[in-house]
A and B are shown apart, each in its own frame.
Chain A
Amino acid sequence: MYAQIVESTGKAVKTLNEMEGEERVFQERINAGGKIEPKDWMPDGYRKTMVRQISQHAHSEIVGQLPEGNWITRAPTLERKAILLAKVQDEAGHGLYLYCAAETLGISRDQMFDQLHSGKAKYSSIFNYPTLTWADIGAVGWLVDQAAIMNQVPLQRSSYGPYARAMVRICKEESFHQRQGFDIMMKMCEGTAAQKRMAQDALNRFWAPSLMMFGPPDADSVHSAQSMAWKIKMNSNDELRQKFVDAVVPQAEFLGLTIPDENLAWNDKKGGYDFTDPDWQEFMAVIHGNGPCNRERLAARVKAWDDGAWVRDGLNTHAAKKRKAAKPVAG
């Protein structure tokens, strides 16, 4: 979800009998529910896929600072301002330890930044939608963080140890964020007509993009089988999307908001809601750089990095001076 389209480099999934040596030991450990640690042998495809998955997740966290940071200076009360600041700070923190988790696989943070800044690396499509009113900050917490939790709770069981452990902490903080988002929505929905209108408008705009967070439909998700065999993906995209809809519909009813989908209906047979798929063409466009805010988001990250070059150079140069000064003079 924060890693929506992870192109796995594994070919067709091999059975255990087709494997030998280290690969077989590796797969047997995964099958037995064991963890793969940084120094363990792993197939190249597994390593590359994990780097993509973790770095996409990390990029999503840091790009995700932008739409929410957009409202910090305009938060309506001191308490809301403090909560939002703490939340955006948490996201930067998630980014930091996810980059560290990815680094255990042999890629540097600078390399990952290069990939982000050049447009090569992806991040979650959701952060390419604008936050236009204060209710959007509520909707992001309520919907986006809830979708994140649904995806990430199972990833606490990811076969890659450092990622699984990072996910434990992230999930705790995300569930806190989700409650805060819902609390904003409650206040808006109990409030004035203008506030309620803002809340409904936020739901209208964030509903479909939230459904897109789980990635393309299973029928088009060509890389899932290998990822599932490696236990780095635990549930299918459609499965999680259904779970999300089933959870959110009663919440929207509680808030007195209408889900913007005429086809939304309870289906007794499947024990879940029927709903309209989001526009997958729009999803692909956003993933490929043509969403409402892709250019602004990337430009903001690149600008922050470029403007900060003199700071990083200054700090590195100072550190080098100190090292030189500390070096004992050769006798």
Chain B
Amino acid sequence: MAQILNRDTALFHFLTRIGDSTLILGHRVSEWCGHSPMLEEDIALANTALDLIGHTRMWLGLAAEVEGKGRSADDLAFLRDSMDFTNLLLVEQPNGDFGQTMMRQLLFDAWHLPYLNALKSFPDPRVAGIAEKATKEVAYHVDRAADLVVRLGDGTHESHTRMQAALDELWPCVGEMFSTDEVDAMLAPDAPKPDRIRDAWDATILPTLARATLAVPATRFTRQGGKTGRHSEHLGHVLAQMQFLQRAYPGATW
């Protein structure tokens, strides 16, 4: 991240940021397979994870192409260390209970969808094309996450308490989604500046939380660093698991 930015390196960083976020969130969601509260959710969570891994293949594939150093999407996913991962801190947070997983999903989806919508008019058709494809799936992610957050927030006393706790826990990771740095500045106005997404995010989140009878946390504390490779301790463990085979058997074809 420290090297001098030009338009191509900025595009590479921009693509890995979004690809890393979909990869790490997809990984987290996939941890639920076979362990969710009901069979329908096993299917739905696997489906969400599958969508996100699908997006990852496209974003990191394009990042590798733009970089032009002969790396593949798999090289980027499996052979970089945490300092080169630039996903949002939000997505690497542990699953916690089902409520925390769905709250994390909603907070991310409400950012993801307007961000992709804006990218549909990106001048490079490769970027616009991926955004176009991903938008359809992500629109459904938003609906599903919002629906579950409302029903659990406005369910029993216990489900309400758990959903509020999840929101309070994750809230400090929200601000990073809207932070804007030199990578974003270099690509503007082709790519939306993240701070421009906040209104659209609020327009989804605030009414949803109100319907869920949940209170917007008062804290103004914001955690940052994911976008520049400074992560929580959680990411190292995700990578240790995810990258095990590629690291243990270098050069093997799978």
Query: Which stretch from B53-61, B179-187, B196-204 is at the chain A interface?
Result: B53-61
In chain A, positions 100-136 with a C-beta closer than 8 Å to chain B are: 109, 134
Which residue of B37, B47, B150 contacts A307 across the interface (Cβ within 8 Å)? Answer: B37
| A91: min CB distance to chain B, Å | 9
Judge if B31 is at the interface, Cβ distance under 8 Å. yes
Judge whether A192 and B249 touch: CB under 8 Å: yes
Judge if B49 is at the interface, Cβ distance under 8 Å. yes
Assess A310 versus B156: contact at CB under 8 Å? Given A65-B33, A73-B31. Answer: yes
Alpha-carbon distance between A68 and B74 when the two chains are bound, in angstroms? 21
Judge whether A92 and B245 touch: CB under 8 Å: no
Alpha-carbon distance between A65 and B36 when the two chains are bound, in angstroms? 11
Alpha-carbon distance between A80 and B246 when the two chains are bound, in angstroms? 13
Judge whether B42 and A65 touch: CB under 8 Å: yes
Binary contact readout B67-89 vs A (1 if CB under 8 angstroms, 0 otherwise)? 00000011001100000000000
Judge if A153 is at the interface, Cβ distance under 8 Å. no
Judge if B97 is at the interface, Cβ distance under 8 Å. yes
Judge whether B158 and A308 touch: CB under 8 Å: no
Interface of B: prevailing SS: helix
Assess A318 versus B154: contact at CB under 8 Å? Given A89-B46, A195-B252. Answer: yes
Judge whether A88 and B162 touch: CB under 8 Å: no
Judge if B217 is at the interface, Cβ distance under 8 Å. no
Judge if A249 is at the interface, Cβ distance under 8 Å. no
Alpha-carbon distance between A73 and B34 when the two chains are bound, in angstroms? 13
Judge whether B34 and A88 touch: CB under 8 Å: yes
Assess A317 versus B155: contact at CB under 8 Å? Given A72-B30, A74-B242. Answer: yes
Which residue of A65, A81, A190 contacts B34 across the interface (Cβ within 8 Å)? Answer: A65
Judge whether A78 and B56 touch: CB under 8 Å: yes
Binary contact readout A180-196 vs B (1 if CB under 8 angstroms, 0 otherwise)? 00001001101110110
Judge if B38 is at the interface, Cβ distance under 8 Å. yes
In chain A, positions 59-79 with a C-beta closer than 8 Å to chain B are: 62, 65-66, 69, 72-79
Judge whether B158 and A314 touch: CB under 8 Å: yes
Judge if A13 is at the interface, Cβ distance under 8 Å. no
Judge if A228 is at the interface, Cβ distance under 8 Å. no
Judge if A315 is at the interface, Cβ distance under 8 Å. yes
Chain B residues whose C-beta falls within 8 Å of the C-beta of A93 in the assembled complex: 43
| B241: min CB distance to chain A, Å | 5
Judge whether A311 and B40 touch: CB under 8 Å: no
Q: Which residue of B lies closest to A99 (CB)?
A: B39
Judge whether A74 and B37 touch: CB under 8 Å: no
Alpha-carbon distance between A187 and B252 when the two chains are bound, in angstroms? 9
Chain A residues whose C-beta falls within 8 Å of the C-beta of B53 in the assembled complex: 78, 81-82, 85
Binary contact readout B242-254 vs A (1 if CB under 8 angstroms, 0 otherwise)? 1011100101111
Chain B residues whose C-beta falls within 8 Å of the C-beta of A264 in the assembled complex: none
Binary contact readout A133-152 vs B (1 if CB under 8 angstroms, 0 otherwise)? 01000000000000000000
Alpha-carbon distance between A72 and B27 when the two chains are bound, in angstroms? 8
Judge if B130 is at the interface, Cβ distance under 8 Å. no
Q: Which residue of B lies closest to A297 (CB)?
A: B34
Chain B residues whose C-beta falls within 8 Å of the C-beta of A65 in the assembled complex: 33-34, 42
Alpha-carbon distance between A308 and B252 when the two chains are bound, in angstroms? 40
Chain A residues whose C-beta falls within 8 Å of the C-beta of B150 in the assembled complex: 318
Assess A310 versus B158: contact at CB under 8 Å? Given A78-B53, A134-B254. Answer: yes
| B221: min CB distance to chain A, Å | 28
| A310: min CB distance to chain B, Å | 5
Residues of B that sit less than 8 Å from A by CB? 23, 27, 30-31, 33-43, 46-47, 49-50, 53-54, 56-57, 60, 73-74, 77-78, 97-99, 150-152, 154-156, 158-160, 162, 241-242, 244-246, 249, 251-254
Residues of A that sit less than 8 Å from B by CB? 62, 65-66, 69, 72-82, 85-86, 88-89, 92-93, 95-96, 99, 109, 134, 184, 187-188, 190-192, 194-195, 300, 303-305, 307-319, 321
6 interchain residue pairs of minimum CB distance: A308-B37, A314-B159, A314-B155, A65-B34, A89-B46, A69-B33
Q: A73-B27, A78-B53, A300-B35 given; name 19 further pairs at CB < 8 Å.
A: A72-B33, A73-B242, A74-B241, A74-B244, A77-B254, A79-B57, A81-B53, A82-B50, A82-B54, A85-B49, A96-B43, A191-B253, A194-B252, A304-B35, A308-B98, A310-B158, A314-B160, A315-B155, A321-B154
